[in-house]
Structure 1
Amino acid sequence: MILRAGLVQTNTGIDPAIEAAALAASIGAAAAQGAQIVFTPEMSGLLDRDRARAAPHVRAEADDPVLAAVCAAAALHGVWVQLGSLALQGEGGKFVNRGFLIDPAGTVTARYAKIHLFDVALGTESWRESAAYQAGDTAMVAATPWAPLGLTICYDLRFPALHRALAAAGASIIAVPSAFTRPTGAAHWHVLLRARAIETGCWVIAAAQTGDHQDGRATYGHSLVISPWGEVRLDMGEAPGIGLYDIDLTEVAAARGKVPALNHAREFQVIAQ
């Protein structure tokens, strides 16, 4: 079975109204080129490290204009959308980083809140996502007409147990929407995505943020499609835009047949002396 996937690589700014219109246009453009499902990056509607400035734009899910615009675009163009994530109101005064799967009727069929939060110091850059965001606690494998789709977000990429659990629960495709920094992207992006594909025997689709953003950060780009054998099949480089790739889902069984590591996993104890 062949699935034509569209990837949207964006340079998201600080005005959700602008981003909503841009996302809707990109979804339409990908659908016009035959995409059956469109993947967008982490924080597709707002990328702003100034949390006080961002706060007025962070809405409850039911009131979010970006989510509404993407649902409308999915329905207008008759296409599935994996909306990588949005900053939304959470609990206890914190935000939540939540992704969505949206069907061609414009209905949200699955949600996933980022489990692993990015608390990292990188030389002159320091990130403490947990100061403003609450972590999710539930993994998600979502049904699609083609194959089960595992949902992750950005920093989740560094936790192989999550990806193995998604594959063990039936996922044949794993989405990794991201806003990777340039230092970590240059060092780890390709190798981590290839490793997650190899370990799980899944297609890995990673739509990414790119370029210099209005809030002062810089992201790595290089939205990727990785085969279940770990091959880079699509690399979008650093320019914003749309990429398409025809995914052959029979490659999942072929890769897992060659190296059936998912079936060989065993429980074990660790002794530290």
Structure 2
Amino acid sequence: MTIKPEFRVAAVQTVSAADWPSNRDQAAGLIERAAGQGAELIALPEYFCLMGRRDTDKVQMKEQPGQGPIQDFLRQQAERHRVWLVGGTLPLASPDADRIYNTSLVYGPDGECVARYDKIHLFGFRKGEESYDESVSIRPGSNTPQSFDAPCGKVGLSICYDLRFPELYRAMGELSLILVPAAFTYTTGSAHWEILLKARAIENQCYVLAPAQGGKHENGRRTWGHSVLIDPWGEIIDECPEGPGVAAGVIDQQRLAEVRASLPALKHRTM
């Protein structure tokens, strides 16, 4: 695949509801906005299709690989706008009847699915009355690490809580771009989101594109938002603080080369 000197990408930020039709329409409008701004790769956030009222809601919405309204929507949007579309996450069937895979699917401009990653690190948090345990309804994936080739170079896939595990990204090898669709809670996001994203960009000397959920949801949950594109030096290129929106910018091959030439940390690794 030919690498483009500049490749425009966009992170879509949503405030997803508890029903698929409204989430579909919100995502479609933001994809259209990003494509209209020239984005060639567009990434949706984790749970763009559903922020349910109960853990079991996502299980009831699960699809079989290759079929279902959510996958049809992603395929059609990629083909319609002729973009690389990263479908945030959606619930795919797993061997467990009561749990799903939290899956990120990537579609090429022709509408073909080119990559799949099932989230392996499952979020657990407890502080006062606030608590989460993704393992109740999600089965961890086993197909890691996952990446795909795009006109900006090699792109690494991850999801939300994966951000706290730097060894995942190291296992992918040299990357041009890391994707982190997320639904960080307001509590953890306000403390760690930007720090962790910048760290992953700096230590891997690549761009990081992180589309997020960002606002108050029908189920009472509040997500941090701040969808962002960060460059290999750890500088923020664009950011969407809260509410539905788009953060966009360019993957610049010259910038990648300059950072790696001035501080060749990737070549200095000894383990």
Do both share a fold (TM > 0.5)?
yes
Match of 1:236 in 2: 240
Match of 2:151 in 1: 145
Q: Any residues of structure 2 matched to 1:8-157 within 5 Å, and which?
A: 8-48=12-52, 50-93=54-97, 94-137=99-142, 138-157=144-163
2:163 partner amino acid: L
Deviation at 1:49, TM superposition (A): 5.0
SS at match of 2:66: helix
| Conserved 8 A contact 1:23-1:70 | no
Q: Does 1:254 align with 2:253?
A: no
| Conserved 8 A contact 1:24-1:70 | no
Deviation at 1:62, TM superposition (A): 2.9
Work out the CA distance in 1 between the residues paired with 2:63 and 2:115: 19
User: Aligned pair in 2 of structure 1 residues 255, 126: CA closer, same or farther (>3 Å)?
Assistant: same
Using the size of structure 1 for normalisation, the TM-score is: 0.92
Between the two proteins, what is the percent identity of the paired residues? 39
Work out the CA distance in 2 between the residues paired with 1:239 and 1:23: 13
Match of 1:270 in 2: none
SS at match of 1:19: helix
2:187 partner amino acid: P
SS at match of 2:30: helix
**Superimposed CA distance per residue, residues 184-207 of structure 1 (whole angstroms, 9 cap, x where no aligned partner):** 111001110000001000100000
- Which deviates more from structure 2 when the two are superposed, residues 95-104 or residues 114-123? 114-123
Work out the CA distance in 2 between the residues paired with 1:261 and 1:86: 36
Q: Does 1:164 align with 2:170?
A: yes
Deviation at 1:242, TM superposition (A): 2.0
Deviation at 1:132, TM superposition (A): 1.3
SS at match of 1:218: coil
Work out the CA distance in 1 between the residues paired with 2:112 and 2:211: 21
Work out the CA distance in 2 between the residues paired with 1:143 and 1:68: 22
Deviation at 1:233, TM superposition (A): 1.3
User: Aligned pair in 2 of structure 1 residues 120, 49: CA closer, same or farther (>3 Å)?
Assistant: farther
After the TM superposition, which segments of 4 or more aligned residues of structure 1 sit over 4 Å from their partners?
Answer: none
Deviation at 1:232, TM superposition (A): 1.2
Using the size of structure 2 for normalisation, the TM-score is: 0.93
Work out the CA distance in 2 between the residues paired with 1:227 and 1:243: 13
SS at match of 1:205: strand
- Which deviates more from structure 2 when the two are superposed, residues 246-255 or residues 97-106? 246-255
Deviation at 1:18, TM superposition (A): 2.1
| Conserved 8 A contact 1:95-1:134 | yes
Work out the CA distance in 2 between the residues paired with 1:12 and 1:71: 20
Structure 2 unaligned residues grouped into runs of 5+: none
